[in-house]
Structure 1
């Protein structure tokens, strides 16, 4: 093959994808899929009813192009939703943009704002698209890990912390941006105010942008609070806040995301977006807008507001049940304060995993073996780490618990039966 037909150097090394491999593996072996982060049940009924009514309604324009940067109804609703949270009036036409999922927003943000040679700090573990997106833009990723506290018994996501000196050392004159996933996937960490203050102070000191991926912003468990870094003093003008309709309404296939931020930064995203993705499906944007209109109207009602009831009423029992089962079978869970993922320490499982002929970390090999032999699928956390820090995630697996109770009960049976089998052999 001629050199002109080969993959771009910036793309080299980014072609491997954990979702492609483990999604296919789970399907091939008909495994219980506690790996990928999507529900195996319907989104909320009121949102489905809105969508269905719109699609078969009397307005023919619902099936045609809408405004490139976001349907006017949707961006107006998003400004209305986030204005009180941000503590400022948000201009829907210049300070909000909609794209095809949070992926589309991140792509537009990184391609629009990161230039060749710019350094981008990425806090680990990170959603796996961050690194390749930065590299494709010509940027240089600089990785700073959250590290788990060394202690006996279950961890909480708050036990994973940043080292103040390590994060401070990562900033320099070449640093263009930092990517902060709050709440964090896969840990479920909810950053405390003092942690965000540290990051914000460093951003201001070094004149650095903040890309705040907050797609799990509504899945906050009782007793905890999500703080948007854009609301801290001096941070609005340098922060792009990323949200997701797929996560908000448990409809990941709708692939709709948004950015909220200052006009100069959002304008850059708009230019990139209009020359790549251009626009997003009109019916989905209208359905999300109408769904959020309803959520705003019942925002103070914990029972009716899906933005609150999802975590407090629906996910909390699932989280607690999974943590109990994992502890019962000898795994050590990290109990999340937010989100719908749970890390589990597998180092105490005494199982001989055969060599699969790859140089991949142990968690990859373990989950391939578990999917094939136990018909239970998860995701290897080392996919969310740089090469330098993969050892920090190698003894964990990531489970997703936004699943039907029957799915979680079936997974619990697999784990308990496996535990009995290991006990009999020992």
Structure 2
């Protein structure tokens, strides 16, 4: 009887995510610090949190009820205002933007909305762990290619981690449906260059492949590097779905609000998955995010704009963490974007992962 109700094979063995295990440890065993998950320990801008408070207690009762399923009107309009000049085309807020329950759901809807049984999806390693699970859930076959460090005498930066062009080209075939790109990259911190993006774009066009561009760290790019949206490259708009995150943009990851934008014919497929899975997202949070965008768009060309000040605030934190890691025997890669530092710990022992786990338990026993 038990076998009849087991987890379907497409979901694998159903192991706990490493995030589930270590978040629980960090919560249970103080003063353990969770340095692994992508969320800050500082406050969001005051205008952002005040916007939510004002929405929930304001005079309009409808802002606490269901809103448009594919995105609260005020929010999609402001997303169109933000991204239209950045991508060099006028975004249709109704047909080309979808608001999702975090960028996580945008990924899920994009993958489930396009990948069929046996379709191959190219994934760049290392990667956000849900990519593989979502691909397999859709019946797809993940094909992996690793970013590898170039030989370096001095300090290593995320720009030193590159793809092998020949290996990359060999993965594309008639079975390839999709490429998942993450820039700035989690966890390497790599900001893909124009040349690197062009190589990916040329292969996508040659083999008629869809590109899912996960750009949730788009505002966390450290000077002199610049974030380039692959959808802006010639011939890529019509085959690219770009994903963003309010949680990462405004440092409110617990709000779980994201979005995807792209051509209407592709977004239609995401809408089908979304309406039958989530249906609609939290109205007051969408309204608060919309107001937050309006606030920042009004000061977009000033250094105070959070879209630009966020990266400036993070640089000193990045440099301090790199320094501490080096002093303690790690060999860190200095990230050009995002808020992760990837560090080589092999000099410290073969089983550091389990050593840390055991130390947390022992310290609190």
Identify the TM-score tier after normalising by the shorter chain: over 0.9
Instruction: Go from structure 1 to structure 2 and tell me whether the alpha carbon gap of 1:225 and 1:5 turns closer, same or farther (over 3 Å shift).
Output: same
User: What residue number does 1:322 align with?
Assistant: 321
Give the structure-2-normalised TM-score.
Answer: 0.96
Stretches of structure 1 lacking an aligned partner (at least 5 in a row): 354-361, 376-426
SS in 1 for 2:159: helix
| Structure 1 residue 334, shift from structure 2 partner | 0.5
Query: Which deviations, in whole Å up to 9, do the C-alpha atoms of 1:161-216 show, x marking residues without a partner?
Result: 00000110010000000000111100110001111000000000000000000000
Q: Which residue among 329, 353, 363 is the counterpart of 1:364?
A: 353
Q: What is the distance in 2 between the residues matched to 1:107 and 1:38? A: 20
Contact 2:184 2:191 in 1 (8 A): yes
Contact 1:119 1:142 in 2 (8 A): yes
Count of residues paired in the alignment: 363
SS in 2 for 1:179: strand
SS in 2 for 1:10: helix
SS in 2 for 1:338: coil
Taking only aligned residues, the RMSD between alpha carbons, in angstroms, comes to 1.4
Give the structure-1-normalised TM-score.
Answer: 0.83
Spell out the pairing of 1:51-66 with structure 2 (5 A cutoff): 51-66=52-67
Q: What is the distance in 2 between the residues matched to 1:274 and 1:366? A: 45
Stretches of structure 2 lacking an aligned partner (at least 5 in a row): none
User: What residue number does 1:25 align with?
Assistant: 25
Q: What is the distance in 1 between the residues matched to 2:43 and 2:194? A: 35
Q: What is the distance in 2 between the residues matched to 1:137 and 1:286? A: 32
| Structure 1 residue 294, shift from structure 2 partner | 1.3
Spell out the pairing of 1:224-373 with structure 2 (5 A cutoff): 224-302=225-303, 304-312=304-312, 314-349=313-348, 362=351, 364-372=353-361
| Structure 1 residue 346, shift from structure 2 partner | 1.1
Instruction: Go from structure 1 to structure 2 and tell me whether the alpha carbon gap of 1:200 and 1:271 turns closer, same or farther (over 3 Å shift).
Output: same
| Structure 1 residue 151, shift from structure 2 partner | 2.8
SS in 2 for 1:142: strand
Query: Which deviations, in whole Å up to 9, do the C-alpha atoms of 1:12-44 show, x marking residues without a partner?
Result: 234331110111122232202212221122211
Contact 1:105 1:259 in 2 (8 A): yes
Query: Which deviations, in whole Å up to 9, do the C-alpha atoms of 1:95-148 show, x marking residues without a partner?
Result: 000010011111111111100000000001110000000001000000011011
Q: What is the distance in 1 between the residues matched to 2:355 and 2:138? A: 33
Instruction: Go from structure 1 to structure 2 and tell me whether the alpha carbon gap of 1:206 and 1:20 turns closer, same or farther (over 3 Å shift).
Output: same
Q: What is the distance in 2 between the residues matched to 1:126 and 1:25? A: 23
Which stretch has the larger CA shift, 50-59 or 210-219? 50-59
Which stretch has the larger CA shift, 40-49 or 203-212? 40-49
